[in-house]
Structure 1
């Protein structure tokens, strides 16, 4: 019997869709835009989930992700409601591949999940370029204050797989607020505008800081979601690196 699934984060919804399980998703957060979720009950934003509506959807398994800062509170409410919950907390790229396998195992599609991970690994490997010096890339999550991906982020491994390096790889944490002087001290060769939750990416805001560094825009869905759509971001960054 097919499980009735619920997803509280876009990254999980993307994984379910890539595994061909979107039709089993009976409820999802309102940010999820993966294909095939037309029949899912929408539960509101990921940090303001309508838990009674989730309960009414009668899921057999709820998928949450702590990659969304603040989701711990939502998870506590869902568990208090007595719903079986799988909570993911990816930090690295390897964690992301492991989460895809974990979702596949939980949903009864282990072989499909392992095949997906193998395909993603192969595509990422094919994007790698050899540089005389690894380009330093700063991935910006928010402009005011400037917040960027630091060492404990899947971005670090993703850039490494492309032959580049995270300009903030020596800075601890998943992300960090930065002053303009700290951005300058990071000596980026490329800045990636991938603002989370922004309706429009505005590279001119970054360019107006006067750093003289090329800026490329990558939608948050391509770099901020630990799942299969990271390959969309990887392709965009690889293309920008090729033009340096």
Structure 2
């Protein structure tokens, strides 16, 4: 990788990928949600949250590469602005775990660190051993938001993580990245474990009582038996290296049933 390469990261998952590849010294700016690794992001300009990212300020830093994303509605406006500028750009929009690995490869290639990318992927795969779900494996709902309830459906890397950890995705019947459920009525599918992974909320602010007291959910197995667990969104919602920790916590929750 050329030592003078200057990289701007628009999303926290891309920031974490760059650092896991050992290229953190190439970062010249990140988004305001990038909080890991703290010793790296703490010294960098933070150019606003993902939907308010200051594209002009980023371009003023004369980056050789911008890493962006389409994982959140509204990101396309930021991506379009970077595309119009002509700056070299890598845009990630993974749905499956395999696509997360592919994005790591693309970022590594752009940084001229292809071998490091393959090592990172191999390490992640080794640390997330495949546990084939049994026919009666616990059904897991990963909840991105509590009201309305928004959960991870089949077209998501979380679906793959649940199955890899030996569980079954409670929302596997929905062929989309997410499914929205009413908080006032029980879901139309059984749920044995509910993992709170609320987007944009620190894990110490997750409140199991919000789930446990839902009137329409009192007959849901996860609620009835108190199987409601917090798993920080930084470990499940960021398609990058720390999905390994999300896998570990999912596996612990599944094995605890």
Give your verdict on TM over 0.5. Answer: yes
Separation of aligned partners in 2, 1:39 and 1:180: 41
Are the structure 2 counterparts of residues 183 and 150 from structure 1 closer, same or farther at C-alpha, using a change threshold of 3 Å? farther
Residues 1-58 of structure 1: per-residue CA shift (max 9 Å, x gap): 2321111011101111111111111011000012122332211001111111101111
Per the alignment, in what secondary structure is the counterpart of residue 30 of structure 1?
coil
Aligned to 2:150: 147
- 2:211 pairs with 1:198: no
Separation of aligned partners in 2, 1:56 and 1:38: 20
Are the structure 2 counterparts of residues 173 and 129 from structure 1 closer, same or farther at C-alpha, using a change threshold of 3 Å? closer
CA RMSD of the aligned region, Å? 1.6
- Count of matched residue positions in the alignment of Structure 1 and Structure 2: 243
Unmatched runs of 5 consecutive residues or more in structure 1 = none
Aligned to 1:26: 28
Separation of aligned partners in 2, 1:7 and 1:130: 36
Give 1:6-85 correspondences, 5 Å limit: 6-35=8-37, 36-85=40-89
**How far off its partner does 1:172 sit?**
1.9
Farther-moved stretch of structure 1 (222-231 vs 78-87): 78-87
Are the structure 2 counterparts of residues 170 and 181 from structure 1 closer, same or farther at C-alpha, using a change threshold of 3 Å? farther
Are the structure 2 counterparts of residues 182 and 108 from structure 1 closer, same or farther at C-alpha, using a change threshold of 3 Å? farther
Residues 150-193 of structure 1: per-residue CA shift (max 9 Å, x gap): 11111111111111111111112111211247653210110010
**How far off its partner does 1:196 sit?**
0.3
Are the structure 2 counterparts of residues 130 and 177 from structure 1 closer, same or farther at C-alpha, using a change threshold of 3 Å? closer
Separation of aligned partners in 2, 1:49 and 1:226: 19
Are the structure 2 counterparts of residues 132 and 90 from structure 1 closer, same or farther at C-alpha, using a change threshold of 3 Å? closer
Separation of aligned partners in 2, 1:14 and 1:112: 14
Unmatched runs of 5 consecutive residues or more in structure 2 = none
> Contact conserved, 1:96 with 1:226, CA < 8 A, in 2?
yes
> Contact conserved, 2:7 with 2:26, CA < 8 A, in 1?
yes
TM normalised by structure 2 equals 0.90
> Contact conserved, 1:151 with 1:169, CA < 8 A, in 2?
yes
- 2:215 pairs with 1:207: no
